């Protein structure tokens, strides 16, 4: 895939790359049986791509308008299905591939109907069924249908229309033959006039991409939100595009590209991946079958590069971003002192957490990367939680690989967390990507959040001197007089623990609580499955073990040293002595404890509200 330009989309870069590669293709010839089409510039080349949420990527001559020609046929057929129903339409037009050229004068004589609506005979039969009391009303209804698909009003290229009307003798032969056989009932010239105008509708590749995305989106226009076709009609249209849309090349197309598609003699090709996306290409030079040379090559390349073949891709797009938040709203479990909490309330906005879910494949990854691309403009650190991600394919890995390059160029550090939540294959792919790209991997989301909080705090706060431990710096003892603090200093017991040491164990009698002077400790609880869950982390200036002391019961959790720690303990006997000597000391300590408990509860409530 192409190298990132900071701020660009990986798929936009990819389109630019393949457009540059295929622009130099030679071969094929511009259609000349319609004189106006022969004026097209052979070098014209555009690619547009639309997701089912209306995001359109384009490259090349995507702003140039051209006549839609035979790419109009699936949409006209879909409109007829909506108006008449499947049974009535099957009486007028079949659904069998012909293996013949699009303009062959070949009809299904046994059933007295054209073989399918993707060839000219079938499209003319569909045009003969257009609603409207007058020719003008029928033309207006046709244009309104196509405008609904495109999400904007489409006009008619009058020069192309006149050119087709003046030279369309083969289509006249088809129409009169069908009139003679009773396949159409209206005046052939009137039917052909509508059909020629339909083929002369002016579109761009961006219009076609949105029209295709309407089919991919189960009949709902992704730009306007208007339902144009029903689900059953979309199914029938896409089925015919798959079997008949590329004429005599349909079989090889289905085998190689694997997407429902339709081509037109103006050089357009439209391909649709249901539930995900559409691809529209315009390049006038055609192969002998009547398909755009560059269009076929580009679709084949895109399908292969991103694994879009329909029979490899039965998924539909779901939002793989389950939740997005910041450390200012969902901090780590580490218990911070008031000043740190105040800093993180502001600076925590620089740390984003994004929870992923479901399956990452082309379309879902494109949507995810689009959102993450906007996010990295706002943050310094981004933690991606893979716990609920079930699978990831090669296309998503390509997107991720480019995204990591772009993030690094933007000065944003990305971390992966809990990558073992899905299958072993998925975890292996993500681990390999992290290893190749030098991405930090954390076993737990909370550890990642705590790490980046510490980094943010180190930049934002004044250095804390851990070599001097003064009680008046601890919030637990705030409000006490110097003489009272000196009395506490006479009672507290200094202790040191090495990394991994158990300071407290579940079930032990709670006869002492601790104030941490240096290092950090983790609070662990049993989950009931022979595993322990880290539910908190405590740093310098904080206290722990107080609940069992206050309640007079056993310890409810383990507390383990994360590193070498220094802490000071006060026993129940010490508290009794302080209460007897100076009740104000104990009441002040308890009041400070209560304020700290309230702060922790508020912080917990914020986290809970984020999880809802």
Residues classed as catalytic: 70, 73, 195, 247, 265
Whole-angstrom distance, CA of residue 134 vs CA of residue 131: 9
Whole-angstrom distance, CA of residue 485 vs CA of residue 98: 96
> Which H or E run includes 275?
none
| CA R_g for the chain | 35
The strand order across the sheet containing 277-282 reads 56-60, 46-51, 277-282, 268-273, 261-263
Q: Cα–chain-centroid distance for residue 111?
A: 47
Contact 521, 544 (CB under 8 A): yes
Q: Name residues whose C-beta falls within 8 Å of residue 283's C-beta, 6 or more positions apart in sequence.
A: 44, 45, 46, 267, 292, 293, 294, 295
CA 357, 360, 363, 365 dihedral sign is positive
Strand 493-497 with 502-504, pairing: unpaired
Whole-angstrom distance, CA of residue 275 vs CA of residue 419: 27
Tokens 């706002």 belong to residue = 378
Which DSSP string do the residues of 209-271 spell out, in sequence order? HHHHHHHHTTTB-TTT--B-S-HHHHHHHHHHHHHHTTGGGHHHHHHHT-S-EEE-TTSEEEE
Two structure tokens written together for 373: 């691309």
Whole-angstrom distance, CA of residue 125 vs CA of residue 186: 10
Whole-angstrom distance, CA of residue 603 vs CA of residue 90: 65
Cα of first residue to Cα of last residue in the chain, in angstroms, is 39
Contact 31, 21 (CB under 8 A): no
């Amino acid at each position: 895939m192409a190298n990132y330009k900071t701020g660009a989309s990986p798929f936009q870069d990819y389109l630019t790359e393949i457009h540059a590669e295929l622009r130099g293709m030679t071969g094929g010839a511009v259609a000349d049986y319609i004189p106006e089409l022969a004026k097209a510039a052979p070098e014209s080349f555009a690619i547009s791509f639309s997701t089912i949420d209306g995001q359109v990527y384009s490259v090349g001559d995507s702003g140039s308008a051209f006549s839609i020609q035979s790419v109009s046929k699936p949409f006209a057929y879909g409109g007829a299905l909506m108006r008449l129903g499947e049974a009535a339409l099957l009486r007028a037009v079949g659904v069998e591939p012909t293996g013949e050229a699009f303009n062959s004068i070949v009809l299904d004589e046994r059933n007295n109907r054209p073989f399918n609506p993707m060839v000219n005979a079938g499209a003319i039969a569909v045009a003969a069924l257009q609603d409207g009391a007058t020719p003008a009303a029928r033309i207006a209804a046709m244009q309104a249908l196509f405008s609904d698909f495109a999400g904007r009003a489409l006009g008619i290229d009058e020069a192309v229309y006149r050119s087709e009307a003046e030279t369309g003798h083969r289509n006249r032969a088809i129409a009169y033959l069908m009139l003679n056989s009773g396949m159409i009932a209206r005046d052939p010239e009137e039917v052909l006039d509508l059909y020629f105008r339909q083929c002369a509708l002016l579109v761009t590749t961006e219009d076609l991409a949105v029209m295709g995305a309407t089919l991919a989106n189960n009949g709902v226009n992704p730009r306007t939100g208007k339902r144009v076709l029903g689900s059953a009609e979309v199914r029938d249209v896409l089925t015919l595009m798959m079997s008949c849309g590329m004429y005599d090349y349909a079989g090889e197309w289905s085998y190689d590209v694997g997407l429902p598609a339709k081509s037109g003699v103006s050089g357009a090709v439209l391909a649709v991946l249901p539930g995900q996306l559409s691809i529209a290409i315009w390049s006038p030079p055609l192969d002998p079958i009547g398909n755009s040379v560059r269009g076929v090559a580009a679709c084949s390349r895109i399908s292969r590069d991103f694994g879009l073949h329909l029979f490899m891709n039965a998924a539909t797009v779901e939002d793989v971003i389950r939740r997005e938040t910041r450390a200012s709203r969902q901090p780590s479990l580490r218990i911070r002192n008031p000043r740190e909490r105040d800093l993180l309330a502001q600076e925590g906005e620089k740390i984003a957490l994004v929870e992923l879910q479901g399956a990452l494949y082309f379309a879902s990854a494109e949507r995810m990367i689009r959102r993450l691309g906007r996010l990295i403009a706002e943050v310094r650190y981004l933690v991606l939680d893979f716990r609920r991600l079930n699978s990831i394919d090669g296309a998503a890995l390509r997107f991720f690989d480019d995204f990591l390059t772009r993030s690094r160029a933007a000065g944003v550090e990305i971390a992966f967390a809990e990558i073992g939540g899905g299958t072993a294959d998925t975890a292996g792919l993500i681990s390999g990507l992290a290893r190749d790209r030098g991405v930090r991997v954390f076993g737990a989301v909370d550890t990642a959040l705590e790490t980046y909080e510490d980094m943010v705090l180190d930049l934002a706060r004044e250095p804390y001197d851990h070599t001097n431990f003064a009680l008046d710096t601890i919030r637990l003892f705030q409000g006490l007089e110097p003489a009272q603090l000196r009395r506490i200093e006479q009672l507290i017991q200094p202790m040191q623990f090495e990394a991994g040491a158990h300071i407290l164990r579940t079930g032990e009698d709670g006869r002492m609580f601790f104030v941490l002077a240096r290092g950090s400790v983790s609070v662990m609880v049993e989950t009931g499955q022979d595993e322990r869950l880290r539910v908190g982390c405590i740093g310098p200036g904080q206290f722990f073990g107080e609940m069992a002391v206050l309640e007079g019961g056993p310890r409810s959790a383990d507390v383990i040293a994360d590193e070498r720690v220094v802490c000071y303990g006060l026993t129940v006997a010490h508290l009794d002595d302080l209460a007897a000597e100076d009740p104000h000391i104990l009441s002040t300590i308890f009041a400070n404890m209560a304020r700290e408990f309230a702060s922790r509860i508020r912080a917990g409530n914020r986290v809970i509200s984020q999880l809802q």
